């Protein structure tokens, strides 16, 4: 019996060995197919949960798709500066000692006193104005007297002219009566002739005197005008030296003109702005035209960059400009003011400038910036998205679109892209204008799927990714 069992066990083992060999031989000839890498795992999903805490910890930001034209943009590096029309360097109008001066970084308004100076030139100007006014008064009185004399001369000339006309008529009448008579009226005729001659001479004398009086009026009036001009010049000089307007100087206070009571020179702000530099100190003695302070109005800055002169044909006046600033500062949209027609001799570069509104004065001058200048644009508007929103995931271009119904969920969405330019890309399919997608942080989201749709899972508040079964 044992022999029979032993024999059966041996046969079973032999059969099992034969089947195993046959199986190995079959597997070798016909290997099992590899798992399909592109086959979607039943647990895979395109949806990723993003709690607000995870968004903050991962540094995720969002951008929106919009409609617009794709253009070619020329990058131009440069910086921001305050243009000359918005900067003022104040100088001393006269020599003297500084009594007071405003502090650096002080905000000032137009007309506000920046510095006060005690100047001997101011006293001298006041004295010269007093003398000019005195001379002007005398010259004016002389001109008035000359005009009065000329007026009396005109009256006298009119009177003798009338006498001349009367004497001529009497002489002519007597002459007619005496015609045909031997001696009748000869004596009267002779007397009339003598009166006419004397009257004619009086008219001539009066005319000469009148001309002299007219010349005297002209000379006296000219002297009066010259005196008034000197007064006006004195007032203007005093206005410059005092820092007051002409209207202020001529005001009467406590019975005196203001210009007579001024004791110091005031330097005032020509416009509103900020004192960014002070060059002198209180008590310091300065000569005329020395710098006092620098005022800037940063309400409107300028971008200035340089590009090779070969780019000149590409630059058009008023072309759209996007100015990128460092850090978290927002991008500024502007327009090209126009390239300079003359290039730098050494570098052969041309300047590119654009206005940069700065109403809240948050943008400091001197910071670096890069301007993107539009040099070519597509004809039609398309769906546009910042280029940074697009990631390459294997052979696909994908974005992570926010679920319009759940703000804490983003959806991995393949897209087809087209033209690109100026940091933007044309989205041919996959998105609509108004869709919100992840911008910064999209690469972290891509890692959850590692080239394919991620398995179901979610982010924790600390920014770590967890599968659903974890």
Which pLDDT score is estimated for 39?
Answer: 43
Pick the closest to residue 435 from 384, 390, 388 (CA basis). 384
Q: Taking the chain (470 residues) in consecutive chunks of 10 residues, what is each chunk's mean pLDDT?
A: 42 41 40 41 67 85 90 90 92 90 93 90 85 86 86 84 84 73 65 83 84 85 88 85 83 78 87 92 91 92 91 89 88 83 75 90 89 85 91 89 90 90 86 93 76 58 59
The reported pLDDT for the residue numbered 258 is 78
What pLDDT score does 242 carry?
84
Question: What's the pLDDT score for residue 13?
Answer: 40
In the chain, which segments carry CATH 2.40.420.20? 47-70+381-467
Provide the pLDDT for residue 274.
Answer: 92
Query: With helix as H, strand as E and coil as C, how does the chain read?
Result: CHHHHHHHHHHHHHHHHHHHHHHHHHHHHCCCCCCCCCCCCCCECCEEECCHHHHHHHCCCEEECEEECCEEEEEEEEEEECCHHHEEEEECCCCEEEEEECCCCCEECCCCEEEEEECHHHHHHHHHHHHHHHHHHHHHHHHHHHHHHHHHHHHHHHHHHHHHHHHHHHHHHHHHHHCCCCCCCHHHHHHHHHHHHHHHHHHHHHHHHHHHHHHHHHHHHHHHHHHHHHHHHHHHHHHHHHCCCHHHHHCEECCEEHHHHCCCEEEECCCCEEEEEECCCCCCEECCCCEEEEEECCCEEEEEEEEEHHHHHHCCCCCEEEEECCCCCCCEEEEECCCCCCCCCCCCEEEEEEEEECCCCCCCCCCEEEEEEEEEECCCCEEEEEHHHCEEECCEEEEEEEECCEEEEEEEEEEEEEEEECCEEEEEECCCCCCEEECCCHHHHHCCCCCCCCECEEECCCCCEEECCC
- The predicted-structure confidence for 120-167, as pLDDT tens digits, reads as follows 888 888 888 888 888 888 888 888 888 888 888 888 888 888 888 888
pLDDT of residue 3: 43
**Region of 306 on the Ramachandran plot (φ > 0 left; ψ -120 to 50 alpha; else beta):** beta
Spell out a b/e string for 154-163, using b for 16 or more CB atoms within 10 Å of the CB, else e.
eebbeebbeb
pLDDT value for 101: 93
| pLDDT value, residue 403 | 92
Top CATH class of 47-70+381-467 equals mainly beta
In this structure, the number of other CB atoms found within 10 A of the CB of residue 293 comes to 24
Q: What pLDDT does residue 335 have?
A: 93
pLDDT of res. 327:
85
What pLDDT does 399 receive?
Answer: 93
Q: What's the confidence (pLDDT) of residue 37?
A: 39
Domain 122-238 sits in CATH 1.10.287.620:
yes
Residue 34: the pLDDT is 41
Query: What confidence score (pLDDT) does residue 339 get?
Result: 62
pTM (2 d.p.): 0.53
Contact 148, 288 (CB under 8 A): no
Domain boundaries for CATH 1.10.287.620 within the chain: 122-238
* pLDDT for 128: 86
Q: pLDDT tens across 19-37, in order?
A: 343 433 444 343 433 434 3
DSSP state of 330: P
Query: Does domain 92-119+264-296 fall into CATH 2.40.50.100?
Result: yes
- Domain 72-82+299-377 fold: Elongation Factor Tu (Ef-tu); domain 3 (2.40.30)
Judged on CB neighbours under 10 Å (0-12, 13-18, 19+), 98 is buried
The pairing of strands 256-257 and 113-118 is unpaired
Give the separation between CA 283 and CA 294, rounded to whole angstroms. 19
Range(s) of the chain covered by CATH 2.40.30.170:
72-82+299-377
């Amino acid at each position: 019996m044992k022999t029979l069992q032993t024999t059966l066990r041996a046969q079973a083992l032999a059969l099992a060995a034969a089947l195993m060999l046959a199986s190995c031989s079959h597997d070798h000839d016909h290997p099992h197919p590899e798992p399909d890498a592109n086959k979607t795992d039943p647990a895979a999903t395109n949806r990723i949960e993003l709690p607000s805490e995870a968004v903050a910890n991962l540094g995720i930001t969002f951008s929106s798709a919009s409609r617009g034209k794709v253009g070619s943009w020329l990058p131009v590096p440069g910086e921001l500066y305050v243009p000359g029309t918005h900067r003022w360097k104040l100088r001393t109008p006269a020599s003297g000692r500084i009594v007071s001066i405003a502090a650096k970084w002080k905000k000032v308004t137009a007309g506000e006193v920046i510095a006060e100076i005690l100047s001997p030139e101011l006293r001298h100007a006041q004295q010269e104005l007093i003398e000019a006014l005195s001379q002007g008064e005398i010259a004016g009185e002389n001109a008035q007297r000359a005009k009065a004399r000329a007026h009396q001369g005109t009256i006298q000339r009119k009177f003798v002219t009338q006498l001349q006309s009367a004497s001529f008529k009497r002489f002519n009448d007597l002459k007619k009566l005496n015609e045909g008579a031997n001696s009748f009226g000869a004596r009267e005729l002779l007397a009339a002739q003598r009166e006419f001659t004397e009257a004619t001479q009086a008219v001539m004398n009066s005319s000469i005197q009148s001309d002299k009086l007219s010349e005297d009026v002209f000379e006296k009036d000219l002297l009066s005008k010259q005196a008034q001009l000197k007064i006006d010049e004195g007032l203007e000089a005093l206005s410059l030296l005092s820092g007051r307007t002409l209207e202020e100087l001529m005001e009467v206070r406590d019975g005196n003109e203001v210009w007579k009571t001024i004791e110091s020179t005031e330097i005032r702000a020509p416009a509103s702005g900020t004192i960014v530099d002070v060059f002198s100190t209180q008590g310091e003695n300065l000569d005329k035209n020395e710098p006092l302070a620098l005022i800037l109005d940063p309400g409107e800055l300028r971008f200035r960059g340089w590009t090779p002169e070969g780019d000149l044909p590409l630059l058009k006046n008023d072309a759209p400009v996007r100015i990128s600033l460092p850090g978290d500062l927002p991008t500024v949209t502007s327009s090209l003011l126009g390239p300079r027609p003359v290039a730098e001799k050494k570098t052969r570069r041309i300047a590119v400038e654009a206005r940069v509104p700065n109403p809240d004065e948050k943008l400091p001058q001197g910071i670096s910036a890069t301007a993107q200048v539009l040099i070519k644009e597509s004809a039609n508007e398309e769906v546009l998205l910042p280029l940074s929103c697009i990631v390459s995931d294997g052979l696909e271009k994908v974005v992570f679109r926010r679920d319009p119904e759940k703000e804490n969920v983003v959806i991995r969405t393949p897209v087809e892209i087209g033209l690109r330019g100026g940091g933007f890309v044309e989205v041919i399919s996959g998105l609509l204008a108004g869709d919100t997608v992840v911008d910064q942080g999209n690469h972290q989201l891509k890692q959850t799927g590692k080239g394919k749709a991620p398995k179901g899972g979610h982010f924790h508040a600390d920014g770590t990714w967890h599968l659903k079964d974890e």
